[in-house]
């Protein structure tokens, strides 16, 4: 099926990118942490992540959709429970913007990746249940209450990147379910005001905005300034002065987190403008084939779920690329199917499996 072909090509694109860009980060990590240097630590870990994700996705595939729909509350509450574990000793933190749950003997996981998926499974059902009053102010206020409660929960962690995803995709689905432009506009304005006001209370977020709004700030004091300049240099250098696959310089720590958050900037140096356009074409192909099949989905719940899962994937693509080309400040969101990251990759693959089941197997 077209969706599975596009997904496979995206996975191959990501594996090739990680194989190339993670050589030096892998060497640095294994040398200092394990005292056994290897250039392919992140590559083999991503292969492990992919295998585990495929196993989980296989289990999801053989799970009836109606069973997922029936247990939406349990799924949502269990993911919230795991999210709350970040307030326990299982919580790990790194560089102000990374939070994991570490279970001894297992990989560390990022619970909010699963929370986002569980949230849309639950919220889609809620929209169907309230379908007859979606036009009312009463329902609009109740939706805002749910979003604000979710906002405060993520602020307590704090997980600001998820807030950048949660509100926009909620507004996208609300717009799809019932077009009320004045409500959407008010929500968007409230979200922007609140986000900017609250984010400025976090020192590392304020630094990002300061440099974004005033690039002349001393780079020795604003480390994010150096990173941003490197992304821009090598995106444009890669598009017009490209090198061959594997023959680039940014892997030697000119760009931190080249294998994950900034893989788009790092990989651009050696794949040229043309292959970046191929990557974008794959994402838009995913959207095209999903929207093309959407009219054949008769159940409103699955329609909403499809629109929201597609929006979740594409919105993260846009945000990641916008950060890399300095349209918006740094957010620490990964590029779906391409960046190195275990739980994010697993959730992306689960979303593809659910899309496939809804679009091609749901009557």
What is the C-alpha separation between 163 and 151, in angstroms, rounded?
6
Q: CA distances (Å), 142 to each of 92, 170, 303, in order?
A: 34, 13, 22
Q: Kindly report each contact of residues 142-148 with a partner whose C-beta sits within 8 Å and lies 24 or more positions away, as own/partner.
A: 143/170, 143/174, 144/187, 144/190
Helix, strand, coil proportions of the chain in percent (round to 5)? 70, 0, 25
**Phi and psi based region of residue 36 (left: phi greater than 0; alpha: psi -120 to 50; beta: remaining):** beta
Helix (H) or strand (E) holding 363: none
**Averaged pLDDT, 163-167:** 75
With 50 as the cut, is the pLDDT of residue 222 above it?
Answer: no
- Read off the pTM: 0.84
Given this model, what pLDDT does residue 229 score? 63
Average pLDDT, the chain: 78
Instruction: Please name the helix (run of DSSP H) or strand (run of DSSP E) that holds residue 155, with its range, or none.
Output: helix 137-156
Residue whose C-alpha is closest to residue 241's, from 271, 196, 277:
271
Partners of 93 in the β-ladder: 99
Question: For residue 354, is pLDDT > 90?
Answer: yes
- Provide φ and ψ at 358, rounded to 5°: -70, -45
| Closest C-alpha among 261, 316, 284, 298 to residue 308 | 316
Reference 156, options 76, 78, 73, 80; nearest CA is: 80
* Other C-beta atoms lying within 10 Å of the C-beta of residue 314: 18
Give per-residue pLDDT as tens, 283-312. Answer: 999 999 999 998 898 888 898 899 889 988
Q: How far apart are CA 127 and CA 226, in angstroms?
A: 44
Q: Are 173 and 308 in contact (CB under 8 A)?
A: yes
Round to whole Å and give the CA distance between 144 and 149: 8
CA–CA separation, 185 and 264 (whole Å): 31
Extract the tokens encoding 86: 């970040």
Reference 257, options 13, 22, 30; nearest CA is 22
Q: Is 221 helix (H, G, I), strand (E, B) or coil?
A: coil
CA distance to 126, 165, 183, per residue, from 189 (Å): 24, 15, 10
| pLDDT reported for residue 215 | 58
User: pLDDT tens for residues 109-164?
Assistant: 777 788 888 888 888 888 888 777 767 777 777 777 777 777 777 777 766 677 77
Dump pLDDT digits (tens) for 168-219: 777 777 677 665 666 667 766 776 676 667 666 666 566 666 666 665 555 5
pLDDT band at residue 355 using 50, 70 and 90 as cut-offs: very high
Res 237 pLDDT > 70: no
DSSP state of 335: P
Contact 238, 254 (CB under 8 A): no
Lowest mean pLDDT among 21-35, 94-108, 165-179: 94-108
237: left (phi over 0), alpha (psi -120 to 50) or beta: alpha
């Amino acid at each position: 099926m077209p969706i599975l072909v596009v997904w496979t090509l995206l996975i191959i694109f990501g594996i090739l990118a990680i194989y190339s860009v993670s050589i030096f980060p892998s060497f640095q990590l294994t040398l200092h942490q394990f005292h056994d240097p290897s250039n392919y630590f992140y590559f083999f870990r991503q292969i492990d992540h992919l295998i585990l994700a495929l196993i989980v996705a296989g289990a999801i595939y053989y799970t009836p959709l109606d069973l997922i729909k029936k247990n939406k509350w349990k799924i949502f509450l269990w993911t919230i429970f795991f999210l709350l574990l970040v307030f326990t000793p299982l919580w790990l933190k790194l560089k102000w913007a990374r939070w994991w749950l570490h279970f001894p003997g297992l990989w560390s996981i990022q619970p909010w990746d699963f929370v986002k998926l569980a949230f849309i499974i639950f919220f889609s059902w809620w929209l169907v249940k309230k379908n007859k009053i979606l036009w009312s102010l009463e329902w609009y206020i109740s939706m805002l209450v749910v979003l604000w409660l979710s906002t405060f929960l993520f602020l307590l962690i704090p997980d600001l990147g998820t807030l950048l995803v949660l509100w926009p995709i909620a507004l996208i689905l609300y717009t799809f379910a019932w077009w009320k432009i004045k409500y959407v506009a008010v929500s968007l304005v409230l979200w922007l005001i609140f986000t900017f006001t609250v984010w400025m209370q976090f020192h590392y977020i304020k630094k990002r905005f300061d440099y974004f709004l005033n690039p002349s700030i001393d780079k020795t004091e604003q480390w994010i300034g150096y990173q941003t300049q490197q992304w821009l240099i090598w995106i444009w250098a890669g598009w017009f002065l490209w090198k061959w696959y594997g023959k680039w310089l940014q892997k030697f720590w000119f760009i931190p987190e080249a294998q994950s958050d900034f893989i788009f900037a790092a990989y651009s140096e050696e794949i040229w403008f043309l292959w970046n356009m191929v990557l974008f074409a794959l994402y838009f192909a995913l959207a095209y084939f999903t929207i093309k099949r959407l009219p054949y989905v008769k159940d409103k719940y699955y329609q909403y779920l499809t629109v929201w899962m597609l929006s979740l994937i594409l919105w993260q693509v846009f945000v990641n690329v916008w950060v890399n080309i300095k349209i918006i400040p740094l957010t620490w969101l990964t590029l779906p199917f391409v960046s190195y990251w275990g739980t994010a990759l697993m959730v992306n693959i689960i979303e593809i499996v659910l899309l496939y089941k809804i679009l091609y197997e749901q009557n």
